[in-house]
A = this chain, B = another copy of it.
């Protein structure tokens, strides 16, 4: 996601990179003492953590600095914890989705699949070896997300609060992922509210709500401000996810970085699909989506149906509604004006992405 509104130079972005680099250097040295094979896993894990936009650390740092926090090193370490959680979650999400690529490159599973194929394993066994390495790598990133918080210099009550926020986020994300798997077991499209709930749990909490709350808690502001930022983050996160669903179907490949066919081919449960399932186009639409061989002409027809049944407009309205709700939380007088402006920028970035 583009986050033009997050001024990198004032929010300790370089510090986050330095903290992550130091962490990986130490972990690689530790792994190398156990085995060169293990060192190799850590090298691949480090490389897979590179190239992200560090959205969560930047959001955390923005809240922290905007609420008067001055220990950027501490905030960068808390931000790095969220980045490691993100790394763990996407590695395991890729295992679950059987994806071997991420950001246009091989992910951990992809790298180990290639290695197994080069060693002469069958495609099926190589695939499983890759996924197994992904399970292990995600476990390591997950544990070290929490350990990173121990390096944040603050009092023990604040550190415990940070740990609880990070763990709440992980607990929510695991729940969202599980509900998503359960959805795929049922042929009927779930209702819109269930989709929104799942998307909020799986991504919005740990990407927006939790980093904002963590930044506020670390800055030492009172619980009301932290809760307000949390609510803003929650509604921003939901708006972001709905826009993501729209872009997955109507976005250009150059903007989203993924095939504009993949969500349709997968039959991904989105708010658009949930809406369309309640209309007269469902008979035809349900015959098109979820077909791994769906071609460009059928995709165009599916898009036409999602337009004509009102699903696209419904999702656009929904994203705007959550964005308006998010903005309204910022009217709380305890949110300083400069922070309000930056957060409005983050919201705008989240919902006004190029389609």
Contact = CB atoms under 8 A, between A and B. Distances in A.
Interface stretch (A53-61, A127-135, A231-239, A308-316): A127-135
Classify the interface of chain A: helix, strand, loop or mixed: helix
Contact of A181 (B95, B133, B182): B133
A332 interface: no
Contact of A147 (B41, B95, B147, B167): B167
Contact of A174 (B116, B139, B160): B139
Given A38-B178, A119-B186, A143 B167 contact: yes
A172 interface: yes
Interface string A132-144: 1101101110110
A301 interface: no
A354 interface: no
A28 interface: no
Nearest to A30: B171
Contact of A185 (B30, B116, B156): B116
A177 interface: yes
B143 A96 contact: no
Interface string A10-45: 000000000000000000001100110110010000
B175 A92 contact: no
B41 A178 contact: yes
Nearest to A184: B129
A121 interface: yes
Contact of A178 (B121, B136, B138, B178): B136
A146 interface: yes
A293 interface: no
Which residue among A96, A115, A133, A174 has the maximum number of chain B CB atoms within 10 Å of its CB?
A174
Interface residues of A, number: 53
Nearest to A129: B181
A98 interface: yes
28 contacts: A30-B171, A35-B179, A35-B197, A37-B179, A37-B182, A38-B175, A41-B178, A92-B139, A96-B132, A98-B128, A120-B187, A121-B185, A129-B184, A133-B178, A136-B174, A136-B177, A138-B139, A139-B139, A139-B142, A139-B174, A140-B174, A143-B143, A143-B170, A146-B146, A146-B147, A147-B163, A147-B167, A150-B160
